[in-house]
Structure 1
């Protein structure tokens, strides 16, 4: 069924996204019931990648459950991890080391980007949010929230363990060095939006200048944080090198986080009361991911620098996991450009990446598309500037820089480890 030549599936998805943007106090209901409406429509009148009815939906769920499982495990686990980190009082030591003016906020954003290059970008965003909460006494400008998300996504764009999409490329045969060129654009983007966002924040709420009294670190909680992150990273790298098929068959990264969390309960008990709120945010994101997965996207436009550039804007509202899977099957991309586009592009809207959704669980005031765009306009401009630098300095050269991955068939979703899995 089409309307003016546009499949009704896409119109329904657009209405869901519009509802999320307009009714930002009811985002969970809009996303969940929108997903249900699309699924019912496709069961009755459409199909799922060629398979009609409930059988098609079942097949889709079997294909997507690893992605959904990893997302759920990471979003819930890292909500408790961020609380452990804040309660360890490590954040209270930051005023001692950071500059006392806007440069302190800028250094914080650079730290988040660096952390995300080797950690999960959800974790980087939530740890950054915890640090900002202390440094700015709970008053964080929405433009700075957008910058935290953008820094976490930019930091992961050039690392095969920093973002779900780059991990997908790694599994498909793209070498780690082939996506590293994304940092040429990501570093410029961070420099641009970082300075503006830090000045925004300093004018809104100055950074804390002194430590709040004598700080006593809780080394037990800090140890829990380190253990959780270390086990997640080790699981991701070890399985990618030794048994990548296991990562596509089971949500191993999400499971690793929860194994670490449960093993450390005797050492420090998590704040379990945080889970209901984190679960609501997780269901919201999973609903949007499922909406995107049900769209009848069979192929992307021909691979080119302009197509990759446009995918950055698309990934702000459309899950970047299926976009990356389609690009890998199609081939012909310079993978560093694609990694930058789909990894960083989702930062432009709060629900455009899993890092943004996770951070807005901590800061509900961020759940307004208009406020995010007004306050975080520098993120979108930074994306364009970063891509321009990629073109000028690196140059689009799919054959020279990347070529086609050695294993272009990507039938299973990639493990959602260091995500941005977007909507």
Structure 2
């Protein structure tokens, strides 16, 4: 049963990768493996947990004495599923809130204020402008929210689907690179920051340059090969008079402030980011209702948040639910812990371990991988020397882990929350990304890693 869980996950992953060839939506495949992995886990729980690979079960068993069968059921159904569903729900509600805010701004033509400022149609210039915009925005917001915003912008700037796929993919790479060096830019850096493994100032100092190189190197390569201009989409005349210039600017500012408010909310209240996102959405909703209360029913129908919610991409949300549920089952059963131990035993070098975690994060969600690393390697005493010195607060292991886990997910489109969001919003084909972007992402990933090693490893 332990091996069968992996087999089901791999088969489901292949089905997701071959979505267009099989003509089966990736959300359906993700929901199936997300459920089947837990079903197999529940059926074979006693044998799986008896293997001793699950740290969660070890912690749970210490506080529960009684019949094994009853304890196992309580562990899986009442403890693990509820715990992981809570974590997954935070991501889903965050995604729903961010997607809705972006869609509201888009419906009010707020992004037109920005796109009108970007005059160039030269592919290379546009790519550099958008990449640097993404890089720094993801550090201030986070890579997921930034990707959602930039994908919405790209729809206003680029008409051709495949060209937009290419730019969206580079936005994912830039967003992941930008999120890696900021304490609030990526879920994994937030985890390391809150856990005390890194401090805000040192993570910026240590990872900013490698992250910048990770983005710039692929951009430099593309500058030598990319040619031509982008074709702007045609604006439909019936949409021009929906909003006034003031309303466009006001909703854009309010939407951006709402997104920027999320990390501030988290810092002040220490509550999950999704609550801040939902609060921002609620405020935007109230303002929208007041703004359009005297307008015609037709305009209200198109601009009010209640109407916008009907346009939210539900399959993308369900895809997140399925794939994260599947990964959660592997984490609970001990597969990821076993993998972490294997890396530690076979590699035995902090830089190689972190590089391997980064590559794995392109296949498996980086959150449980980083959580596994945090569980395997406790923060060392500040006076530690030798090998253990790498595990002190702001040690090389933790800083490099923030870089690799944050940027390694760009290697595959499914390897990061930003990639999954772009994949869902633009319907990017997995195999297309593998052929066109993955090699560039690997080159950027290794280039940034080399820079970090030259800065600290030598």
Which TM class, normalised by the smaller chain length?
Answer: 0.7 to 0.9
Residues 347 and 356 in structure 1, CA contact (< 8 A), matched pair in contact too? yes
TM score, norm. by length of structure 1: 0.81
Displacement, 1:195?
4.1
Match of 1:231 in 2: 261
Residues 146 and 379 in structure 1, CA contact (< 8 A), matched pair in contact too? no
Do residues 133 (structure 1) and 129 (structure 2) align? no
3-state secondary structure, aligned to 2:313: helix
Do residues 60 (structure 1) and 80 (structure 2) align? yes
Q: Give the root-mean-square deviation of aligned CA atoms.
A: 2.8
Residues 110 and 249 in structure 2, CA contact (< 8 A), matched pair in contact too? no
Displacement, 1:271?
6.1
**Aligned pairs for 1:115-130 within 5 A:** 115-130=137-152
- Choose the corresponding residue for 1:298, options 333, 337, 344: 337
**Aligned pairs for 1:261-340 within 5 A:** 261-268=281-288, 269-270=304-305, 272-275=307-310, 277-295=312-330, 296=334, 297-298=336-337, 300=340, 301-302=343-344, 304-331=350-377, 332=391, 334-340=397-403
Match of 2:448 in 1: 386
User: Which blocks of at least 5 consecutive residues in structure 2 are unaligned?
Assistant: 62-68, 289-303, 378-390
Aligned pair count? Answer: 379
User: Which blocks of at least 5 consecutive residues in structure 1 are unaligned?
Assistant: 241-246, 397-423
TM score, norm. by length of structure 2: 0.75
Displacement, 1:307?
1.0
Check 1:96–1:219 CA distance in 2 against 1; reply closer, same or farther (3 A cut): closer
Superposed CA offset, 1:59-109 (max 9, x none) = 112322332122111211111122233344443343534544221221111
CA–CA distance in structure 1, aligned partners of residues 326 and 440 of structure 2: 28
Do residues 33 (structure 1) and 64 (structure 2) align? no
Residues 316 and 352 in structure 1, CA contact (< 8 A), matched pair in contact too? yes
CA–CA distance in structure 1, aligned partners of residues 324 and 276 of structure 2: 22
**Aligned pairs for 1:7-406 within 5 A:** 7-24=3-20, 25-46=24-45, 47=48, 49=54, 50=57, 53-58=72-77, 59-92=79-112, 93-97=114-118, 99-101=120-122, 102-137=124-159, 139=161, 140-173=163-196, 174-180=198-204, 181-196=206-221, 203=228, 206=230, 208=232, 216=245, 218-240=248-270, 247=271, 252-268=272-288, 269-270=304-305, 272-275=307-310, 277-295=312-330, 296=334, 297-298=336-337, 300=340, 301-302=343-344, 304-331=350-377, 332=391, 334-364=397-427, 366=428, 368-376=429-437, 377-395=439-457
CA–CA distance in structure 2, aligned partners of residues 391 and 265 of structure 1: 48
Displacement, 1:266?
3.0
Displacement, 1:171?
1.1
Check 1:155–1:41 CA distance in 2 against 1; reply closer, same or farther (3 A cut): same
Residues 155 and 186 in structure 1, CA contact (< 8 A), matched pair in contact too? yes
Check 1:239–1:394 CA distance in 2 against 1; reply closer, same or farther (3 A cut): farther
Residues 75 and 278 in structure 1, CA contact (< 8 A), matched pair in contact too? no
- Structure with higher Rg: it is 2
Greater mean alpha carbon deviation, residues 381-390 or residues 276-285: 276-285
Residues 139 and 178 in structure 2, CA contact (< 8 A), matched pair in contact too? yes
CA–CA distance in structure 1, aligned partners of residues 4 and 405 of structure 2: 25
Question: Quick check: which one's helix share is greater?
Answer: 2
3-state secondary structure, aligned to 1:352: coil
Superposed CA offset, 1:266-292 (max 9, x none) = 322226455565332112112211211
Displacement, 1:35?
1.5
CA–CA distance in structure 1, aligned partners of residues 305 and 233 of structure 2: 30
Residues 141 and 184 in structure 2, CA contact (< 8 A), matched pair in contact too? yes
3-state secondary structure, aligned to 1:137: coil
CA–CA distance in structure 2, aligned partners of residues 257 and 198 of structure 1: 37
Residues 158 and 233 in structure 2, CA contact (< 8 A), matched pair in contact too? no
